[in-house]
Amino acid sequence: MFDHYLAFGDSMSIDEYAGPQLGSASLLHRNRYDFWPEFDRLDLVSLNPRCGYIRLACNGATLSGVWKQWTEAPRVEGRVLVTLTVGGNDVLTGLGQTESRVGYACGNYFGAEPVQSWAQWQESLSRWLEQVEETYRDAVIVVGNVYDPTDGTGVLHSGASLGARHQGLEVMNDLLRRVTTQRGLPLADIQAHFLGHAAEWVYREIEPTQRGSSEIRRVFWRAISP
């Protein structure tokens, strides 16, 4: 069981699209039986009714945003679960592409940050994970990869093409798998679980629906459950 749950990352972990207490991290902490009876008692508070929950994830976060979230994270004691969803917005804003800055992608604002190389991004993620491991000595850290909102076509619901960014999603997921394997951390394979379901589980081009948020929760629950 866990004493604390800290959720870092982007819109894959928030409530703003699914609804109050219906985002993936919120559901992982405490299931909404009125929406998802199949998950009755399959949540963190069922394992420990006193499990605390702090969601630091925010809409549009890139890896640099996750570093900012880390500065706001409490230094708690006890058994800690940390989840992280990151990488999709970095790809959409141009990570690994030749252009230097992208302010808008798929209709949402993600900021306009200098584009890093893949190697720099990987090194930064590794340092972030190391900081978490050093701070929370008794922690389970689960990293989620990035679903493909186009179901492999490279074309969004609106008909807009992701172009080179579609290949970037594959590179990102390979990178996330490599980093988690090297550090011995569990990977929540959201990408594999979502494949073929984008029409139902993704809306507003790239955001998780209520069902999509629950399915992200499902993948994280599988990663931590005995």
What is the number of other CB atoms lying within 10 angstroms of the CB of residue 69?
A: 21
Low-confidence ranges of the chain (pLDDT < 50): 100-112
Q: Which domains does the chain have, with CATH numbers?
A: 4-224 (3.40.50.1110)
Rounded CA gap, 32 and 183, in Å?
33
Q: What is the structure's pLDDT at 226?
A: 65
**Number of neighbouring beta carbons within 10 Å of residue 68:** 12
Q: What is the pLDDT of residues 39-57, one digit of tens each?
A: 999 999 999 999 999 999 9
User: From the CB of residue 171, how many other CB atoms can be counted at a distance below 10 Å?
Assistant: 15
Rounded Cα gap, residues 2 and 13, in angstroms: 19
DSSP state of 39: G
The reported pLDDT for the residue numbered 101 is: 44
pTM for the full model?
Answer: 0.93
Look at residue 148 in the predicted model and tell me its pLDDT.
Answer: 98
